[in-house]
Chain A
Amino acid sequence: KAGVTQTPRYLIKTRGQQVTLSCSPISGHRSVSWYQQTPGQGLQFLFEYFSETQRNKGNFPGRFSGRQFSNSRSEMNVSTLELGDSALYLCASSWGDILSTDTQYFGPGTRLTVL
């Protein structure tokens, strides 16, 4: 069974630009969560999508947005990039069944550098 895939793996952007990251979950998984990881802040939850709807949201500004498609693939967009957005962006997939003992599996991440 294929794992979670993320593209691209590395990105270099300049301040003010926007970026779109993509995540394909494990086959059958309907929940996709996005996290930002920096050395100083650890793993910070951005948002979760389930069945094309944002179900949970973390405390990030509106520059961070996402969407999910009917095949459960998800994209995350960051507009007007700032230097502080440099981080490892991780996608995690799970079944999304809130009544089950659900488990998240992480993709390899996208390393974003903002210059």
Chain B
Amino acid sequence: QKEVEQNSGPLSVPEGAIASLNCTYSDRVSQSFFWYRQYSGKSPELIMSIYSNGDKEDGRFTAQLNKASQYVSLLIRDSQPSDSATYLCAVREGYGFNKFYFGSGTKLNVKP
């Protein structure tokens, strides 16, 4: 059974701080990794995807992947109250499959 683990939170950070969200996965052949943001009552919205070890930056967001440690993280710089949402980590199964596995999400609260 493939698993994607996230701390459910809530993670509270002050406005302007860096929020760090973490995710671990159990399947060593996983190839693709995604972060989605979900506001309450809404559907998940893709923030970033990452496929190679290292960092990938997009605006205030940085995704970090370490396949050896089976660990992926999302950093949000200069956090804003509008970033308050649940962040879902998703892992796509390795080559030959098209199954995505989702963590249960980390709730982030950014306090003004």
Contacts from A to B (Cβ < 8 Å): 31, 33, 35, 42-43, 45, 48, 50, 55-56, 88, 90, 92, 94, 96, 98-99, 101-109
Number of chain B residues whose Cβ lies closer than 8 Å to a Cβ of chain A: 25
Main secondary structure of the interface of A (DSSP, over half): strand
Give Cα A85 to B21, complex, Å.
30
B96–A98 CB distance below 8 A: yes
Instruction: Choose from A33, A92, A94, A99 the contact partner of B95 (Cβ within 8 Å).
Output: A99
Given the known interface contacts A101-B51, A109-B43, the answer about A42 and B32 at a Cβ–Cβ threshold of 8 Å is no
A94 and B98 contact, CB distance less than 8 A = yes
Known: A90-B44, A92-B100. 10 other contacts (CB 8 A): A45-B99, A55-B98, A94-B98, A96-B98, A98-B97, A104-B100, A105-B46, A106-B36, A106-B43, A108-B42
CB distance from B80 to the nearest CB of A (A): 22
B74 within 8 A of partner (CB): no
Indicate if B49 sits at the interface (CB-CB under 8 A): yes
Q: Point out the residues of chain A lying under 8 angstroms from B95, CB to CB.
A: 98-99
Q: Which of B73-109 contact A (CB under 8 A)?
A: 88, 90, 92, 95-105
Q: Which of B43, B51, B101, B103 contacts A107 (CB 8 A)?
A: B43
How far is B96's CA from A33's CA once the two chains are assembled, in angstroms?
Answer: 16
The 3 A-B residue pairs whose C-beta atoms are closest, nearest first, are A42-B104, A43-B102, A106-B43
Name the residue on B nearest A106 (C-beta). B43
Contacts of B43 in A (CB 8 A): 88, 90, 106-109
The contact sample of 29 A-B pairs, CB cut-off 8 A, is: A33-B100, A35-B102, A42-B103, A45-B100, A45-B101, A48-B98, A50-B98, A55-B98, A56-B97, A56-B98, A90-B43, A90-B44, A92-B100, A98-B97, A98-B98, A101-B31, A101-B32, A101-B49, A103-B46, A104-B46, A104-B90, A105-B46, A106-B43, A106-B44, A106-B45, A106-B46, A107-B43, A108-B43, A109-B43
